[in-house]
Structure 1
């Protein structure tokens, strides 16, 4: 069982388009980063947002269909679990019902001042993200 999905609208810009006329594959990574960071900034308390930073550790992308200029694209991400300073997200990028890409990613939470790994407190994980420290959604 996982936490509630977070949706993030994406505007495809002319700079996103490659020589083949569709969105360059590298832009999908930017979209995932934008989505995960927006999720954190929207749900976490202001003091947590100010004191923490995020870096990507790993992305695994499966591309399904291309995106094009003026497409209405949505990235939907779910924080699946938290383990130590690491958070594991699943993000699906869609155009309507069409899945454009599926991304599994691992992120490390850092202390903004020291840049050292920092854990998200159990209270913040559960209260704001619906994740227990063991990575399970709360039951009630």
Structure 2
């Protein structure tokens, strides 16, 4: 399992009317870290010829987080077959290692020129699995 992660500090803009991080913000952080993982790992030729679209999200909210807290957002690819890839995520609070979110996303690999789903090559699989 090849984990990609980044640490973030919860900004005031992430806080909702209940004084904790808005649920949609967690999902955005998951998508953002997935995109960063792709951009930091995939060769430029693939980045310029292909892109990913979301087919499905599954997310479990375990604990709240609050402004100023340091969080770790982790992601890893669990499956890449045909035109689809499944990616997992975990968001934890660094101070107590408490899990805040577990999530999965099913992505579809798409060729830019044709705008059609494309088979995930063995080269891409090897980079992420």
* TM-score of the aligned structures, taking structure 1 as reference length: 0.85
8 A contact 2:52–2:110 mirrored in 1: yes
Preserved CA contact (<8 Å) 2:57 2:105: yes
Contact 2:81-2:120 at 8 Å conserved across structures: no
1:41 aligns with 2:42: no
Partner Cα separation in structure 2 for residue 109 and residue 12 of structure 1: 31
Shift of 1:9: 2.2
Q: TM-score, normalised by structure 2?
A: 0.92
Q: Which has the higher strand share?
A: 2
- RMSD after superposition: 1.2
Give, in angstroms, the shift of residue 10 of structure 1. Answer: 2.5
Point out where structure 2 has 5 or more consecutive residues left out of the alignment. Answer: none
Aligned residue number for residue 63 of structure 2:
65
Q: What stretches of structure 1 of length at least 5 have no aligned partner?
A: 132-140
Q: Deviations over 1:32-82 (max 9, x none)?
A: 100111111111101111111111111111111111111111111110010
